[in-house]
Structure 1
Amino acid sequence: MEATIAKSKSVTMDCHNVDKKLRQIFDLTEDEANFHMKQSAFLYQLAVQTMPKSQHCLSMRLTVEYFRDDSFDQELPVKYSDPTLQHYVIFSTNVIASTVVINSTVMHARDSMNQVFHVLTNGQNYYAMKHWFLGNTFKDAVVEVLNIDPFIPDYYDKTTPSHLNLPTEFRVSFHGINNASAMHSRTQYISIFSHSHYLLPEIFKNLEKVVVLDDDIVVQQDLSTLWSLNMGQKVMGAIQICSVRLGQVRSYLGESSFQKNSCTWMSGLNVIDLARWRKLGISETYWKLVKEQVSKEGSAALASLLTFQDLIYALDNDWVLSGLGHDYGLSTQSIKKAAVLHYNGNMKPWLELGIPKYKVYWRKFLNPENQFLNECNVNP
């Protein structure tokens, strides 16, 4: 031992070289960590924004089957335009997501015979949707699939995209201080109407009232009482998010005239008085605001917030529980109490990224024995 200690003392150490080497190792490790962080963020966004392989398979299979078998090509036009019935509108390009919305709504309805669902999709997904909903029944409800593309050229101008737009979702984060030493952040995912929603009066000319459902919701209670709501002079019933007010997003609203204490509102579950919408020229107001905000990011969402100022009828918060697509902290009690569960956020229930404990509420409205789902290995 003494010999070893003596030998080690005889070796001259250049601390500068050791320090330099350690710094090089640290820099390389830091660069590698940054690379993996960026790669992880990219792959996360890719997973969020792309269609899973199994669902792409399902869409292709259904499209092929539609053209192979024309025996399903039947219509029920009388019910589709009957204003005495309860009309639900869903904007979607996702077969299984829209199926869950319809199935969960019908399963909790007191009388499904009065229910008419209109699924608005694009030309790319129209035939897959058509074949799927003609081949499946939803108690006594009827489902109409509409290709929205033919409505677009006559209504949009050159400053807006000429394709189907799903509800716009944007993330709002607020940073604050919990106590003297701890920082905390609060994040909300606000979903707002897109360009396509402002085609509703044009598409449903014979209807005076509709309920619009996003395709990332699950219905847990009967919705029929929505049709007896007295909204007074308001145009739309929606859940208001008073934790995010217009004044808090004023940097995005620019010099537009708005009430800074007004609450923002959410799409997901919306009751729309189409008759009053037409009377007040809501669509025209929206397009005017879009043109004014066209140079700004998220112009559609901003224009929607401004268009419906003072025209929102606030639905009771018990109607909708939001956050199942991003918030891990929702209680089982609040989930069971809500009439509608809204999976707003990036972690949709049909994605592998979906929050596992919330998927069970969504998955039970899919038929695991369906032939197409099995053949394409659709198992969210």
Structure 2
Amino acid sequence: MNMWFLLNPPGKATIHVENVDEFKWLNSSYCPVLRQLESSAMKEYYFKADHSTAGSSNLKYRNPKYLSMLNHLRFYLPQVYPMLDKILFLDDDIVVQKDLTGLWSVDLHGKVNGAVETCGESFHRFNKYLNFSNPHIARNFDPNACGWAYGMNFFDLEEWKKKDITGIYHKWQNMNEERVLWKLGTLPPGLITFYGLTHPLNKSWHVLGLGYNPSVDRSEIEKAAVIHYNGNMKPWLELAMTKYRSYWTRYIKFDHPYVRRCNLSE
């Protein structure tokens, strides 16, 4: 990563590449999910050959990405960047199409997380992600509460620290040791952790679904500040949806030696 930015200077931007191995606080005694990922029960869940519950719904959660602690670093932003008051979080499968400076002028009204809501009339609400048959979930959350998108989030880190967001995340992650509150991933604990603390952003900031939804409106894509290839059909893979791929390829330097090694087709 350091070499990439040395060879491709980012203009006026300042780039700081962090090495996760330098985060001494990132250990199993402090981070519940790291302790859980290291447990024999979790290893058996992932690596045992014969799964009696290996239906299609469970196969999704055996994707290796769910074993990565890197996915959970988003809950430790004040520790990663202790000197910052606000931060814009971007996933690695997004394309920034427009200037995002205006986000710094958005009033979060005391909330911690600025995010685009993803729910419609009956979908992408809390009951899709959380187990409402569990009394801890049923007692604390509204099943019809609107879900929101991880991938482009504007966080107020001062409010984060005041409200002990990381502590809230740890509490619920500890309670989910046996995966009875939600299965895996970072969106369910995100919905729980930032419940009542999320301010909805205008949908033009962040348009999702380019990695799975063939019906995203082209005009919405072109107006969006950020587009997100969430889903399995990433634009750098052969199974990418052709209609969306050009929004990514237009920024790729296919003649760059590093990119040529990736064996990407134009």
**TM-score, normalised on structure 2?**
0.77
**Runs ≥4 in structure 1, deviation > 6 angstroms?**
none
Matched, 1:161 2:23: no
Map 1:343-362 to 2 at 5 A. 343-362=229-248
The AA in structure 2 aligned to 1:270 is: N
Residue 254 (structure 1) aligns with: 134
Deviation track 1:310-352 (CA, whole Å, cap 9, x = no partner) reads: 1001001111111110111223222212221111111011111
Residue aligned with 1:241, SS: coil
Residue 17 (structure 2) aligns with: 145
Going from structure 1 to structure 2, the CA distance change for 1:263 and 1:376 (only over 3 Å counts) comes to closer
The AA in structure 1 aligned to 2:134 is: G
Cα distance, 1:248 vs. partner?
4.4
Residue aligned with 1:144, SS: coil
Deviation track 1:169-219 (CA, whole Å, cap 9, x = no partner) reads: xx99xxxxxxxxxxxxxxxxxxxx942111211111110000000111111
Residue 330 (structure 1) aligns with: 216
Greater RCO (CA < 8 Å, at least 6 residues apart): 2
Going from structure 1 to structure 2, the CA distance change for 1:242 and 1:329 (only over 3 Å counts) comes to closer
Cα distance, 1:246 vs. partner?
1.5
2:199 to 313, 327, 333: 313
Structure 1 unaligned segments of length 5 or more: list them.
Answer: 1-128, 163-170, 173-192
Map 1:148-297 to 2 at 5 A. 148-151=20-23, 152-153=26-27, 155-157=30-32, 159-161=35-37, 194-243=71-120, 244-251=124-131, 254-255=134-135, 256=137, 257-296=140-179, 297=183
CA contact (8 A) 2:150 2:187 kept: no
Equivalent pairs, count: 224
Cα distance, 1:299 vs. partner?
6.5
Residue aligned with 2:149, SS: strand
Identity %, equivalent residues: 36
Residue 132 (structure 1) aligns with: 4
Higher strand fraction (1 or 2): 1
Distance 1:199 1:267 in 2: 15
Residue aligned with 1:145, SS: coil
Structure 2 unaligned segments of length 5 or more: list them.
Answer: 39-55, 58-69
Cα distance, 1:290 vs. partner?
0.4
Residue aligned with 2:18, SS: strand
Cα distance, 1:306 vs. partner?
1.0
